[in-house]
Structure 1
Amino acid sequence: MSEAPPVDQQGALPLPAVRLPPAPRIPKAVQSIAFTLSRRRTMENIARRYGKAFTLNLPLFGGTVVIADPGLAKQIFTANPTVVGNIQPNLSRVLGPGSVFALDGADHRKRRRLLTPPFHGKSIKNYEQIIEEETLHETVDWPEGKEFETLEPMMRITLNVILRAVFGADGAELDELRRLIPPWVTLSSRLAVLSTRKRTYGRYTPWGQAAEKRRQYDAIIDKLINNAESDPILDDRTDVLAMMLRSTYEDGSVMSRQDIGDELLTLLAAGHETTASTLAWAFERLSRHPEALTALASEADTDDSELRQAAILEVQRTATVIDFAGRHVYAPVFEIGEWVIPQGYSIMVSISAIHKDAAAFPDPRKFDPQRFVGVRPHTNAWIPFGGGTRRCVGATFANMEMDVVLRTILRHFDIETTTAPGEKWHSRGVAFTPKNGGRIVVHRRNT
């Protein structure tokens, strides 16, 4: 006896039959191990054989359709969030249920409205001086004529910038956060790609250590919120914490302390690691491309920024720090191109694969900032920040920060070029960095 075809939620119309992209004939256990140990290489190898859409059975996400086509990515990013919503599980496992990463639908839209103002328009101009100050402070002791890695210095710059942007001033609590956040981010990034644990299994386990660091963080944030609420000039402050405390939703309600803590942690974590990783890749790439580096050094002495902006776009395209954007199918089925994906499946848009799409980017493996000079990046082919309603809320801020950091360093240092092979990829869990930390040799300029 044949099974009745599925029907829509109103029970009126039969739904199309499920039609999944091809799947490799690899045992689930092998897929899980390969994805966990080297998801980037695994995805690239499978894509070479199966094309721009294929199906996997992955740890954490279960049945998963991987998409590496800009046109199909557009369908996903523009889909109704009640049909295709937030991927499950997501980074709220480490950032908390009050993080924007945890929210979906109307709750997600409302939260984004609260978070958008500090990171767009005139607001971000207030942070340019902070970024330049932190860059000059970090680079004052850079060794001349001796190779060193740029990743850790960039991590310190971007963390200090986001701390000052979020809290507006220095103090003992911010010193504690400077000590606490980097190891927590490193640990949590690795735990985020592992299965969720219901227990921490003791304070000496990675999960126990992460829980203890989160407890310490919550205590610090509680003090900072108390200090801000008692500040007589709170209404005049322009930092993110003050804006959160002053902001209200459309119904007049405010964010809870727990939600503020989760959201601030999201900003501190996502707001420094990915930007620092991209900057390290920028130094790695530019030191191997003398023509681009010379042109950028000349431009840095002027008020122009067109080539620098183009170089940042090209670094983000060729050295993709976050390799996929995820969604979850909530509707009975989701039709995308020739495929019909059933409810409960995950969808991964492979950002790194789409960035190598030859139709959108001729000679895609070539590092060429000129491809973006006077040309806006393709909306659905250049997607380092994801796309649609879940595109990174801090994208504008991040690109401005990278622009100021690069300009400041190029004005004060000459970077040696090298013929050494490019650095390999290193996974920190969520983000990818240069394996050797983006190593360069510099000489201070006579300015």
Structure 2
Amino acid sequence: MSGTSGAGLPPGPPIPSMVQLMLMARWWPQFVAACRRRYGNVFTLRNTMMGPMVYLGDPDDIKTVFAGDPRIFHAGEANSMLAGLLGDSSVLVIDGDAHRERRRLMMAPFHRDAVARQAETMAEIAAQNIAGWPVGRPFAVAPKTSEITLEVILRTVIGASDPARLAALREVMPRLLNVGLWQSLAIAKPKLLGRRPWRRLQECMAEADRLLYDEIAERRADPDLASRTDALAMLIQAGADDDTAMSDKQLRDQLITLLVAGHDTTATGLAWALERLTRHPDVLAKAVAAADSGDDEYLDAVAKETLRVRPVVPDVGRIIKEPVEIAGYRLPAGVMVVPSITLVHSSAAVYPRSEDFDPDRMLGASLSPTTWLPFGGGNRRCLGAGFAMVEMRVVLREILRRVELATTTDPDEKMRLKHVILTPRRGAQITVRARRPVDGDFGAQTSDERNLAHRNH
């Protein structure tokens, strides 16, 4: 373990909390990495919004948190600043028995077979979007991957099919999800929403709610509800047998949560994958060969290595509810402990040549939940992790099959913090050199995906 035995908090930078907040907002990974170089794998940061935060970069210390009693380690409370957007019944902002029960009700759409049924739809959506990409000139691909993942969410999770409502959701959701630091203040402190600077955000949230409640009402009235494959239909049916079914408000909160947690994160992961591939010609050539041959293992390795070297979310938090011994320190109740994804993923002790983008390291690797943790861990590991990994693989396959990407010697794109997500600063600039001929089927599913889809229809 890190640190030396003692009471109180580990050491940290002796600079004002407001300055620390500004440093984290502008240079989060760099600031945290600098603190590790100065203080080691455990240190305390302070900022005016979150209070004292004890950062953990040692997998053994992180295991203590992830395996800890959820009655003591509260992730929902640590995420409370999101409640203004997600709602107070969101699975991300509740703790204890309520969280365990809500998570149980939400499992069905994310089982392996349920996700496999959506792979063909993901491929169709990707292919249609890729067909409109420009050829021969650089463009930011992050907005394109965002369009793809939003459409996937709208059609597979929400199950929207009414053309007018789909169009309205396509327009309002990006405005709601792409909030900046200024709007984030009102999400963290919802009382601000009624004031003039934030009224547009309030109107946007109200419009999103109207559309989602209309979808919920339409789905509840659908005589074919039991045969539908969208997540909303499954969520409505969940708990019906034991009187634990979710209310309309609870369903709305989970839909917004899935949109926030499953749209921009996956889109950003895809953008980073393309940014990395175009700077590593040998890896790109292997990825193209894998896409052409249906080699899921290598495409999965590309996705895993991308999420290691460019984690979309830099860390996760838990508020401790009673004193706990971690990393040689007895931490008092009320402190937030922060398993740092960026610190672990960039650790040379865990990943030799950690700065290298090397998907081969992921082939056949037995990944520990405390050494590869882009989706968090413990009882709060992202419900949609399997969905996101399939989506990354399917979309990457379609991109690499359908266009020829130019490689570049440009410097790596720097990371920019957008709300709680680390995005490519320039939007992941790429150039499509040419279109590649493909056969007629959009999906180009692997045999495993075809068999699963067939078995479940």
* TM-score normalised over the length of structure 1: 0.92
Aligned residue runs from structure 1 range 175-254, under 5 A:
175-187=167-179, 191-192=183-184, 196-197=188-189, 199-200=191-192, 202=194, 204-206=196-198, 208-248=199-239, 251-254=242-245
Q: Distance in 2 between matches of 1:50 and 1:441?
A: 42
Verify: 1:308 aligned to 2:299, yes or no.
yes
Q: Secondary structure at the match of 2:201?
A: helix
Q: Distance in 2 between matches of 1:235 and 1:261?
A: 20
Q: Distance in 2 between matches of 1:188 and 1:96?
A: 19
More helix by share: 2
State the number of aligned residues.
430
CA contact (8 A) 1:200 1:211 kept: no
Distance 1:249 1:103, change over 3 A: farther
Give 1:188 shift: 6.6
Q: Which residue of 1 aligns with 2:393?
A: 403
CA contact (8 A) 2:149 2:267 kept: yes
Q: Distance in 1 between matches of 2:318 and 2:123?
A: 37
Q: Which residue of 1 aligns with 2:436?
A: 445
Q: Distance in 2 between matches of 1:250 and 1:53?
A: 47
Give 1:195 shift: 8.2
Verify: 1:429 aligned to 2:416, yes or no.
no
Task: Provide the identity percentage.
Answer: 37
Structure 1, 183-192 or 227-236: larger mean CA deviation: 183-192
CA contact (8 A) 2:24 2:31 kept: yes
Verify: 1:55 aligned to 2:44, yes or no.
yes
Q: Distance in 1 between matches of 2:14 and 2:168?
A: 50
Give 1:242 shift: 1.0
Q: Which residue of 1 aligns with 2:310?
A: 319
Q: Secondary structure at the match of 1:100?
A: coil
Q: Secondary structure at the match of 2:318?
A: strand
1:337 to 321, 327, 333: 327
Distance 1:132 1:259, change over 3 A: same
Q: Distance in 1 between matches of 2:338 and 2:81?
A: 12
Distance 1:330 1:398, change over 3 A: same
Could you report, residue by residue, the CA deviation over 1:280-310 in whole angstroms, capped at 9, with x for unpaired residues?
0000000000101001111111122111111
Q: Secondary structure at the match of 2:324?
A: strand
Q: Distance in 1 between matches of 2:301 and 2:314?
A: 20
1:366 to 352, 356, 360: 356
Aligned residue runs from structure 1 range 110-125, under 5 A:
110-125=101-116
Could you report, residue by residue, the CA deviation over 1:204-263 in whole angstroms, capped at 9, with x for unpaired residues?
413x22222111112112211221122111121121111111111784222111111011
Q: Which residue of 2 aligns with 1:35?
A: 24
CA contact (8 A) 1:189 1:430 kept: no
Verify: 1:67 aligned to 2:56, yes or no.
yes
Q: Which residue of 1 aligns with 2:87?
A: 96
Q: Which residue of 2 aligns with 1:157?
A: 148
Q: Distance in 2 between matches of 1:157 and 1:54?
A: 39
Counterpart amino acid of residue 315 in structure 1: T
Q: Distance in 2 between matches of 1:158 and 1:195?
A: 23
Residue segments in structure 2 that go unaligned for 5+ positions in a row: 439-457
Distance 1:416 1:78, change over 3 A: same
Counterpart amino acid of residue 10 in structure 2: P
CA contact (8 A) 2:108 2:114 kept: yes
Q: Distance in 2 between matches of 1:174 and 1:446?
A: 30
1:290 to 281, 286, 294: 281
CA contact (8 A) 2:106 2:238 kept: no
Q: Distance in 2 between matches of 1:225 and 1:25?
A: 51
Verify: 1:272 aligned to 2:259, yes or no.
no
Q: Distance in 2 between matches of 1:404 and 1:216?
A: 31
Counterpart amino acid of residue 39 in structure 2: Y
Distance 1:190 1:154, change over 3 A: farther
Structure 1, 220-229 or 341-350: larger mean CA deviation: 220-229
Q: Distance in 1 between matches of 2:99 and 2:193?
A: 33
Distance 1:78 1:250, change over 3 A: farther
Could you report, residue by residue, the CA deviation over 1:30-71 in whole angstroms, capped at 9, with x for unpaired residues?
223322333222212222111110012222211211111111
Q: Distance in 1 between matches of 2:332 and 2:186?
A: 25
Q: Distance in 2 between matches of 1:245 and 1:195?
A: 27
CA contact (8 A) 2:81 2:187 kept: no
Give 1:187 shift: 1.6
Q: Distance in 1 between matches of 2:429 and 2:90?
A: 34
Distance 1:204 1:362, change over 3 A: same
Distance 1:121 1:17, change over 3 A: same
Give 1:157 shift: 0.3
Counterpart amino acid of residue 168 in structure 1: G
CA contact (8 A) 2:194 2:202 kept: no
Counterpart amino acid of residue 29 in structure 2: R
CA contact (8 A) 1:203 1:212 kept: no
Give 1:329 shift: 0.7
Aligned residue runs from structure 1 range 369-408, under 5 A:
369-408=359-398
Q: Distance in 1 between matches of 2:33 and 2:348?
A: 15
Counterpart amino acid of residue 84 in structure 1: F
Could you report, residue by residue, the CA deviation over 1:386-434 in whole angstroms, capped at 9, with x for unpaired residues?
1101110000000000000011111111111111111111121111111
CA contact (8 A) 2:44 2:53 kept: yes
Q: Secondary structure at the match of 1:20?
A: coil
* TM-score normalised over the length of structure 2: 0.90
Structure 1, 37-46 or 191-200: larger mean CA deviation: 191-200
Give 1:198 shift: 5.2
Distance 1:203 1:134, change over 3 A: farther
Q: Distance in 2 between matches of 1:220 and 1:189?
A: 25
CA contact (8 A) 2:12 2:35 kept: no
Q: Distance in 1 between matches of 2:180 and 2:219?
A: 28
Distance 1:193 1:68, change over 3 A: farther
Q: Distance in 2 between matches of 1:90 and 1:357?
A: 29
Q: Distance in 1 between matches of 2:294 and 2:123?
A: 15
Verify: 1:140 aligned to 2:162, yes or no.
no
Structure 1, 217-226 or 154-163: larger mean CA deviation: 217-226
Structure 1, 264-273 or 248-257: larger mean CA deviation: 248-257
Q: Which residue of 1 aligns with 2:9?
A: 20
Give 1:268 shift: 1.3
